[in-house]
């Protein structure tokens, strides 16, 4: 059965007429890999009518940029107007200008642009694999592995991927030029490296940090020569110069505090105590690719790492380790790059030679030793990943479950907030999921046009540990879901975040939120219901502001 399936894949080019066009198995396989990769990503986005998960703050910042004539504002209007407009703005310029030029809504752009740019990262990774791997088979297998690592696209195709996808795309392209620069030298990779590195930082600051230490690692393994010191200095200096208009403007407005705060929110193993605790919690996921059933690609990555160690080719294993150590918050996304490359090495230098040796003396199975096997092994394995990715009618497996848009009923309720609440008032939303995928909390300030006191997004740019406090406050509000009104009152005092209204959203799975809390609020003379609908309930807080609140 397996032999017939493999033969079917390998003879497909002939059935499609590709053999007459003299398309070799490598090209046919790459076309199929990239096509399926685009399909897997589109399947997650196309059925939705709203940006997946996050993106509310970026939507607001794009509107701020448009309203300010594309000059960088001092603050964003998002969630009260106290957050510095310090986020790298390139993606905001792109989406804003496209919104101005085309008859497409900005909401649609925040749904479509991340998908298009994420698909482009597949082609960029293909270029990186060609620049760093030694055989076509390894390149094909690496691209296939990267294509179907869920972490290579989950956080990029969301609404917030409008910035993350641009950042990773430019980072991959910049690393490709760095590999060429340190291997061959020349002016072209230096100039392109400067432009692409600047575009990375202007798209996503955290990805800029990833690019910085990755480039240093490439230099250490590919070009630790005296002649590579000057190009490296020019690369760093040129990147700083091209990004100066952005970071210089931000520093003129706010000093270095927003950047210091944002850097602390990411964290390394050698940073804050909270970062070290996060690292310990994530250690079990250090080889995670978010594969839902079994970490097959991660296992291939480990095999590829072992082969590299045996041959004293340590760049990719070291890269994987350094990513884990230096980026506690997002290492599983960035690690998809070395894992994909190592998986390609495992297939080309490990699995295929082993199969060829096993079949060398078996006459009927000599086709295993043919070049067509090298495409067939990859294509048959990909069926596994296509199967779990095509989950249109219900939430996906594993972390694919985070790819959900704010339901239409909740969006209607948030729109009702603007009608039933006082202008300028603050709303406490009772969360139902962790803050990273709490899409209702992030979109509330945009769709409800009110301050959301439990929203975390944006606090990473505020000084004094505001980001950690915001996460603790969010989790504390989440615990109030199974409590009573006293929990809400205690929350307001403890976190010094007074509110005038409480929003109890309908859960993503359609069930009611906070049954005990809602019953306590209805029975209390401190709250009264002002709205009820399919998307949840809104209560007004009748008691005066609590002592100690600002």
Judged by DSSP in three states, 547 sits in coil
Phi and psi (nearest 5°) for 515?
A: -55, -45
The DSSP call for residue 368 is: G
Q: Write down the pLDDT at residue 316.
A: 96
Secondary structure string (H, E, C) spanning 410-459: HHHHHHHHHHHCCCCCEEEECCCCCHHHCHHHHHHHHHCCCEECCCCCCH
Determine the pLDDT at residue 13.
47
pTM score of the predicted model: 0.88
For residue 2, what pLDDT is reported?
Answer: 35
Of the candidates 247, 238, 246, 245, the residue with the CA atom closest to the CA atom of residue 195:
238
- Cα-based angle 477, 483, 484 (whole degrees, multiple of 5): 100
Identify the segments of the chain with pLDDT beneath 50. 1-20, 269-271, 276, 281, 284, 286, 390-396, 546-550
Q: Are 487 and 514 in contact (CB under 8 A)?
A: no
Residues 6 or more apart whose CB falls under 8 angstroms from that of 41 comprise: 115, 118, 119, 153, 157
| 350 Cβ contact partners less than 8 Å away, ≥ 6 residues apart | 303, 304, 307
Backbone angles phi, psi at 213, to 5 degrees: -75, -25
> Which long-range CB contacts under 8 A does 262-268 form with residues at least 24 apart?
262/86, 262/205, 262/206, 262/460, 262/461, 263/209, 264/465, 264/467, 265/329, 265/460, 265/467, 266/206, 266/209, 266/327, 266/328, 266/329, 266/330, 267/327, 267/328, 267/329, 268/325, 268/326, 268/327, 268/328
Q: State the pLDDT at residue 378.
A: 55
CA 155 – CA 162 distance, rounded (Å): 10
Radius of gyration over every alpha carbon of the chain, rounded to an integer in angstroms: 25
Give the per-residue pLDDT at 26.
84
Nearest Cα neighbor of 505 from 416, 397, 392, 382 is 416
Provide the b/e sequence for 394-422 (b: ≥16 CB within 10 Å): eebebbbbbbbbbbeebbebbebbeeebe
Please tell me the predicted confidence (pLDDT) of residue 7.
45
* Plot region of 464 (φ>0 → left; ψ -120 to 50 → alpha; else → beta): left
pLDDT in tens, 198-219: 999 999 999 999 999 999 999 9
Q: In Å, what is the CA distance from 52 to each residue of 158, 164, 406?
A: 5, 14, 7
| Cβ atoms 181, 194 nearer than 8 A | no
Contacts 24+ apart (CB under 8 A), 513-520: 513/430, 513/432, 513/481, 513/537, 514/430, 514/480, 514/481, 514/482, 516/482, 516/483, 516/484, 517/430, 517/480, 517/481, 517/482, 517/483, 517/484, 517/485, 517/487, 517/488, 520/483, 520/484, 520/485
pLDDT, residue 56, reads 95
**pLDDT single digits (tens) 144-200:** 999 989 889 999 999 999 999 999 999 999 999 999 999 888 899 999 999 999 999
pLDDT of residue 549: 37
Q: What is the pLDDT of residue 225?
A: 73
Q: Is 541 helix (H, G, I), strand (E, B) or coil?
A: strand
What pLDDT shows up at residue 10?
42
pLDDT at 288: 64
CA distances to 287, 325, 383 from 329, in Å: 14, 10, 31
Structural contact between residues 400 and 150, judged by C-beta atoms closer than 8 angstroms? yes
């Amino acid at each position: 059965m397996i032999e017939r399936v493999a033969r079917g894949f390998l003879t497909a080019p002939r059935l499609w007429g590709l053999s007459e066009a003299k398309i070799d198995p490598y090209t046919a396989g790459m076309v199929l890999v990239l096509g399926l990769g685009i399909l897997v990503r589109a399947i997650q986005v196309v059925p939705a009518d709203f940006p997946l998960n996050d993106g509310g703050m970026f939507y607001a910042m794009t509107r701020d940029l448009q309203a300010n004539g594309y000059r960088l504002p001092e603050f964003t209007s998002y969630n009260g107007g106290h957050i510095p407009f310090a986020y790298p703005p390139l993606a905001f310029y792109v989406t804003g200008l496209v919104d101005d030029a085309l008859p497409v809504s900005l909401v649609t752009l925040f749904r479509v642009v991340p998908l298009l740019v994420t698909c482009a990262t597949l082609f960029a990774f293909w270029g990186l694999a060609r620049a760093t791997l030694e055989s076509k088979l390894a390149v094909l297998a690496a691209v296939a592995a990267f294509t179907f690592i869920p972490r290579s696209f989950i956080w990029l195709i969301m609404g917030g991927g409008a910035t993350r996808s641009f950042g990773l795309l430019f980072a991959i392209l910049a690393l490709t030029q760095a590999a060429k620069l340190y291997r061959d030298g020349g002016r072209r990779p230096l100039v392109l490296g400067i432009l692409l590195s600047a575009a990375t930082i202007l798209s996503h600051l955290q990805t800029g940090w990833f690019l910085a230490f990755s480039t240093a690692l490439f230099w250490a393994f590919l070009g630790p020569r005296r002649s590579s010191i000057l190009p490296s200095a020019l690369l760093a200096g040129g990147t700083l110069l091209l990004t100066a208009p952005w970071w210089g403007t931000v520093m003129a407005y706010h000093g270095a505090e927003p950047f210091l705060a944002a850097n602390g929110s990411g964290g390394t193993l050698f940073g804050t105590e909270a970062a070290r605790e996060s690292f310990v919690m994530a250690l079990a996921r250090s080889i995670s690719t978010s594969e839902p059933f079994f970490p097959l690609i991660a296992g291939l990555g480990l095999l590829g790492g072992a082969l590299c160690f045996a041959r004293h080719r340590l760049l990719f294993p070291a890269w994987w380790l350094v990513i884990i150590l230096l980026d506690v918050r997002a290492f599983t996304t960035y690690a998809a790059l070395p894992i994909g490359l190592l998986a390609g090495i495992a297939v080309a230098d490990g699995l295929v030679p082993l199969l060829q040796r096993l079949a060398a003396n078996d006459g009927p199975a000599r086709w295993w030793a043919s070049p067509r096997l090298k495409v067939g092994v990859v294509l048959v394995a990909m069926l596994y990943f296509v199967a779990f990715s095509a989950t249109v009618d219900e939430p996906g497996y594993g972390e694919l479950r985070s790819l959900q848009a704010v339901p239409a009923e909740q969006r209607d309720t948030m729109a009702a907030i603007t009608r039933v609440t006082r202008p300028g008032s603050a709303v406490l939303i009772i969360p139902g999921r962790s803050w990273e995928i709490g899409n209702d909390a992030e979109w509330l300030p945009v769709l409800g046009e009110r301050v959301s006191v439990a929203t975390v997004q944006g606090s990473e740019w505020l000084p004094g540990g505001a980001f950690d406090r915001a996460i603790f406050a969010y989790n504390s509000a989440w615990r109030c879901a199974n409590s009573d009104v006293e929990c809400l009152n205690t929350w307001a005092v403890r976190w010094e975040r007074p509110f005038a209204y409480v929003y109890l959203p309908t859960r993503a799975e359609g069930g009611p939120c906070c049954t005990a809390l809602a019953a306590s609020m209805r029975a209390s003379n401190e709250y009264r219901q002002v709205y009820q609908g399919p998307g949840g309930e809104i209560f007004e807080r009748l008691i005066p502001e609590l002592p100690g609140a600002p």
